[in-house]
Each structure stands twice: as structure tokens, then as C-alpha cells.
């Protein structure tokens, strides 16, 4: 979306202190600076911030490659990490740093590019993007351009791709005569989860929460979209959340999480789960199906957990209005406004994309760290894991799914809706008995309208 109201600095500053979020493939990737202050940029000193990785081996290799680059170039290096698992105030700190003229040069992260652009925090990197595509092919997934291109220019360089998936215990379902790959709709998936549940033996079929969390928000919005609901229309300017389609999706979710019929498939405490809860339950072998980033899969592999060999990766579910809506996401390199070491920052980006530098990190990443360019997806890479073919299908999906903002283009206003936890609060209003589904949808609609109008998008 290129509407001028969405790039209003005053609106973005109201959400800059909140978590910066970006939806992808049904999973919410969260990135935020930790408690410490940002490092200060200075001429002649390349200042780099990078996210922490799930596997320390990947992070250590990334850092070593950056350090080797700086050594070869004979440039001083200040490199530090940021914590991607907590809600923090990176945006506000970076806004202050750019304003003061001492921002870091380069960061590798999963922040909202529309917000970074709208706040005027990043440099145009179209020239670097042209070189990357010329060397390694088109970007995957296709949604990358929708996030990173504003006003016809690239403001971030895709570094890696990643996606969420549905992870199912083949052995548990097959014991009941159920082929996990046949569970292509939400209804089939839910009913199969109920069929394999055995609470007396610590096996619950359904391992997805609707509580305030990345997983919860992603699942709620994915179901809503496949029922035909959305935050706005295709323009991204008209809030239409309170619709028959949204209500139908919310009623389906309400039945799933509050009815006596489906109660046996819900693990104890699922209503208060956070982003690590389903990982722990799946790895402990107590749930049969869940939605998650590939951290749960990678962890099972790394630890030699027997659930790994029995795990099948599934596509997202289909709803009454749409087939599976899924896509991948990217993590980015961004060069910050006012950098004093632009040439070195550009060279470092292209250095880190070299196959001899990048591929070893993929090998260590367990499905979490994947190429963002088509020519880097080789047969050898796909064949390293029996489930990588499904990941490739998701990332190369020709049907573009914009995530939270769907069917509108990604935008800062939609990001702010998730930052305010409106989807999970809506469901909490229902599950606690405070509101009916219709009342909760209407309440969420009003809160969304307030966010949009605060940003000057009058309804």
C-alpha cells in the first residue's frame, strides 16, 4: 500500500514503542532489542546488530563470518546481538539514534519493514538488491517485495527465508488409520485430532493455542482469512472486520475451544499457552498436531528426539472460502539512515549471501535458516530432509498470502493491530464468557477502527 496516511510519522511513533511484528505463513515472527542500549555508529567503525538464532552454532558462524569480513577489509567492527523472543522498544531506540545521527550501520532482523520505512529509519538499498538478484535469482517468497518495496524502491535486502508449518505425529494418526496428508481442511484436522486424543495416557490431539502469542495470533488470523474474513478490504483503507465471514470463523474457533465435544483433545492449560508451550508439549510427545515455526522440528532433530522421525510437515488448512493460505517470510538486512559506512555495509551484505558463506549456515539451521533466492534452492538442499519439499512448496507458492493484512498489501496499520493483541483479546473475551462471538467481533472491529483513525485513516 502506498497511501500517504500509512506513512505518517506521528502514527508510526505511537506504535514504535510496541513490538515490531510481521506475519508469515501463519506464524508471527517477533524481533525486538533487549534491555541494553543500541551501539552507536561512527565513521570508520562498521556497527552491526544481528538477531540471536535458535541454534547457537548458526549464530556463531554468522558472527565469525562478519568478523572475518571486517578483518579482511581492515575496518574496525562493533557487532552485537538482539533478542528476537521478547517484546521490546527497538523502534523507539532506533528512531532516537537516527535522529541523533549515531545509528548503527547495518542490522539483520525480522522487523516490520513498512514501519522502519515509515519512520524514516532505513536507506534505499535498491542497488544492492539488483546485484543480489542478478547473482542468485528471484526472491522467495513473493511476499518479500510487498514488505520491502515502498514507492518503487527496496528498503531491505532479504537474507533468509523461513516459514511456519503444521507438524503432525504420523505414528499417532496412522495408529487410528488416518493419513495425515489427507487432513487438508480445518474440519478434518480438528476431527482427526479428537479421534487420536487419549487424555488418560497423556495424549491430546490438538496443540494450538489462541492465547496472546505469535502462534495464537497467526492461527486466529489464518482461520479467519480462510473463512473469508479480514481486517480491511483489498485497499487496506476500509476496516471491514465485523462481517458474516469473520463471525463464522470466530464461531468455529469458539466451538473448538469451548465446546464439550472438543474438550478431550485440548491439553490442560492450553488457553494460557505462550509461544514455547506447544514446542515443549510436542517435543514431550503429549500432543499429536501443532502449528509452529521450524524451531520445534529443528530441536527434535538436534536432540535425537524420537518424535522427529515420526513427524510429517503439512500445509495450512483450508476453510470454506479458501484453500490453504500460506507463504514464507524473510529476515532482512537493513542499512540505517545516516550510515557513515555505507560502502562497507553493502559489501558485507553481498559477502554474507555468497553460497560458500551462506550454505553452511543452512546446513546447521534445521529448517529455520533457508535461502531467500531461487537459484540457491538446489536439489541437493531439498533432498537433505524428507520434509524440505513441503517447505519449498510453501515458499514457492504462486498464490501470494499477505498474512495479517490479507487481502491488502502489508502495512503498518495492520502490524499495529497485532501489536495491540486484538485477535487474542477477542477470543479471550469469548472463552472467559465476557462476550458472545458477535459481541467480541464487534468490539474488536471498534478497536481496529480506533487504531486506523489514530493514524489518520478515517472510517
Task: Please give the C-alpha separations between residue 45 and each of 12, 76, 108, 120, 244, in angstroms, as whole numbers.
Answer: 30, 5, 17, 23, 56
4, pLDDT greater than 50: no
Domain map of the chain by residue range?
Answer: 4-163+327-396, 164-325+420-454
pLDDT at 28 over 80: no
Q: Is 17's pLDDT higher than 50?
A: no
Terminal Cα-to-Cα distance of the chain (whole angstroms): 17
Query: In this predicted model, what pLDDT tens digit does every residue of 412-422 receive, in sequence order?
Result: 899 899 989 99
pLDDT band at 188 (very low <50, low <70, confident <90, very high): very high
Q: In a 10 Å sphere around its CB, with 0-12 CB exposed, 13-18 middle and 19+ buried, how is residue 431 labelled?
A: middle
pLDDT at 193 over 90: yes
pLDDT band for position 39 (cuts 50, 70, 90) = confident
Same fold: 4-163+327-396 with 164-325+420-454: yes
Average pLDDT, the chain: 88
For residues 431 and 335, give the distance between their C-alpha atoms in angstroms, rounded to a whole number. 44
pLDDT tens digit sequence for 93-144: 888 899 999 999 999 998 889 889 999 999 999 999 999 999 999 999 988 9
To which residue does cell 464439550 refer? Answer: 260
Name which CATH class applies to 4-163+327-396.
alpha beta
Q: Read off the pLDDT of each residue in 170-191 and give the average, rounded to a whole number.
A: 97
Question: What is this structure's pTM?
Answer: 0.75
Residue with the larger pLDDT of the pair 366 and 28: 366
Q: What percent of the chain has pLDDT over 90?
A: 68
| CATH code of the domain occupying 164-325+420-454 | 3.40.190.10
Task: Extract the C-alpha cell encoding 244.
Answer: 458474516
Amino acid at each position: 500500500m502506498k497511501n500517504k496516511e500509512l506513512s505518517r510519522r506521528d502514527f508510526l511513533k505511537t506504535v514504535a514503542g510496541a513490538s515490531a511484528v510481521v506475519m508469515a505463513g501463519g506464524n508471527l515472527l517477533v524481533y525486538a532489542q533487549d534491555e541494553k542500549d543500541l551501539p552507536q555508529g561512527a565513521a570508520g567503525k562498521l556497527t552491526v546488530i544481528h538477531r540471536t538464532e535458535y541454534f547457537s552454532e548458526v549464530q556463531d558462524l554468522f558472527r565469525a563470518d562478519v568478523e572475518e569480513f571486517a578483518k579482511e577489509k581492515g575496518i574496525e567492527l562493533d557487532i552485537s546481538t538482539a533478542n528476537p523472543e521478547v517484546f521490546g522498544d527497538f523502534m523507539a531506540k532506533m528512531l532516537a539514534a537516527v535522529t541523533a545521527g549515531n545509528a548503527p550501520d547495518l542490522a539483520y532482523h525480522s522487523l516490520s519493514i513498512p514501519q522502519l520505512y515509515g519512520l524514516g529509519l532505513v536507506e534505499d538499498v535498491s542497488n544492492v538488491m539488483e546485484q543480489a538478484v542478478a547473482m542468485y535469482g528471484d526472491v522467495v517468497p513473493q511476499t518479500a517485495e510487498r514488505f520491502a518495496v515502498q514507492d518503487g524502491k527496496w528498503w531491505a535486502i532479504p537474507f533468509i527465508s523461513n516459514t511456519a508449518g503444521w507438524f503432525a505425529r504420523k505414528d499417532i494418526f496412522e495408529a487410528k488409520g488416518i493419513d495425515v496428508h489427507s487432513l487438508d481442511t480445518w474440519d478434518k484436522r480438528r476431527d482427526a485430532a479428537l479421534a487420536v486424543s487419549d487424555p488418560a495416557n497423556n495424549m491430546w490431539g490438538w496443540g494450538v493455542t489462541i492465547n496472546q502469542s505469535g502462534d495464537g495470533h497467526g492461527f486466529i488470523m489464518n482461520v479467519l482469512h480462510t473463512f473469508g474474513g479480514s481486517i480491511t478490504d483489498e485497499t487496506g483503507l476500509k476496516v471491514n472486520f465485523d462481517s458474516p465471514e469473520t463471525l463464522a470463523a470466530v464461531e468455529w474457533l469458539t466451538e473448538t475451544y469451548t465446546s464439550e465435544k472438543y474438550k478431550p483433545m485440548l491439553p490442560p492449560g492450553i488457553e494460557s499457552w505462550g509461544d514455547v508451550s506447544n514446542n515443549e508439549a510436542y517435543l514431550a510427545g503429549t500432543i499429536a498436531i501443532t502449528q509452529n515455526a521450524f524451531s520445534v522440528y529443528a530441536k527434535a532433530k538436534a536432540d535425537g528426539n524420537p518424535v522427529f522421525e515420526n513427524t510429517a510437515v503439512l500445509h495450512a488448512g483450508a476453510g470454506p472460502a479458501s484453500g490453504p493460505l500460506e507463504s514464507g517470510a524473510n529476515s532482512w538486512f537493513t542499512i540505517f539512515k545516516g550510515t557513515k559506512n555505507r560502502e562497507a555495509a553493502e559489501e558485507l551484505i553481498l559477502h554474507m549471501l555468497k553460497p560458500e558463506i551462506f550454505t553452511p549456515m543452512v546446513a546447521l539451521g534445521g529448517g529455520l535458516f533457508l535461502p531467500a533466492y531461487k537459484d540457491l534452492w538446489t536439489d541437493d538442499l531439498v533432498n537433505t530432509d524428507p520434509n524440505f519439499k513441503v517447505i519449498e512448496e510453501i515458499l514457492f507458492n504462486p498464490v501470494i498470502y499477505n498474512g495479517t493484512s490479507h487481502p491488502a498489501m502489508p502495512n503498518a496499520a495492520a502490524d499495529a493491530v497485532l501489536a495491540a493483541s486484538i485477535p487474542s483479546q477477542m477470543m479471550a473475551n469469548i472463552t472467559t464468557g465476557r462476550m458472545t462471538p458477535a459481541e467480541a467481533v464487534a468490539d474488536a472491529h471498534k478497536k481496529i477502527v480506533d487504531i486506523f483513525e489514530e493514524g489518520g485513516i478515517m472510517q
